[in-house]
Every structure is written in C-alpha cells, then in structure tokens.
C-alpha cells in the first residue's frame, strides 16, 4: 500500500507542477495545438478539432520522461 501511496503523491505533484507551469508560462505554449497536421474543420453548426500531431509530440515527450525516470529509479 505504501508504494501505491508514494506513486500517487509523485503523480499528483507532477500534475500540480505542470499546472503551475501552464498557468504562469501559458503564453509560451500558444503554438501547441496549432501545428501542421492538427485537423480543424469549422462549418456552420459543426466544429471538429483533432490535434493529432500535438498529441503525438506530447506522447513522445511523456514516454521519454518515463523512460528516463525508470532508468534512474
């Protein structure tokens, strides 16, 4: 049980840290979600937004961070 609690505390701290960074440095991330390859369709009565490339980049960054975390801990 202590391992699960420790992982939840670390995960919560990471989420809080990401939230603080986005809150204070949000102007620097305006490009995210507007990359080439992100699909945006706007028609009368219909909006579709699929940030495919942005989510691929985010997935790669998270995978890299988790790999580094596992390598050292």
64: left (phi over 0), alpha (psi -120 to 50) or beta: alpha
- Show pLDDT as tens, one digit a residue, over the chain (73 residues): 888 888 899 889 989 998 998 899 888 888 888 899 999 999 999 999 999 999 999 999 989 988 988 887 7
Alpha helices in the chain (DSSP H): 2-24, 52-72
Residue 46 β-bridge partners: 43
| pLDDT, position 3 | 86
| pLDDT, position 60 | 96
């Amino acid at each position: 049980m202590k391992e699960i609690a420790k992982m939840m505390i670390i995960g919560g701290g990471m989420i809080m840290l990401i939230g603080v960074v986005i809150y204070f440095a949000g102007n620097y991330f305006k490009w995210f979600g507007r990359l080439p390859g992100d699909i945006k369709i706007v028609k009368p009565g219909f909006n579709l937004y699929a940030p495919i490339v942005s989510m691929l980049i985010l997935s790669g960054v998270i995978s890299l961070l988790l790999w580094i975390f596992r390598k050292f801990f």
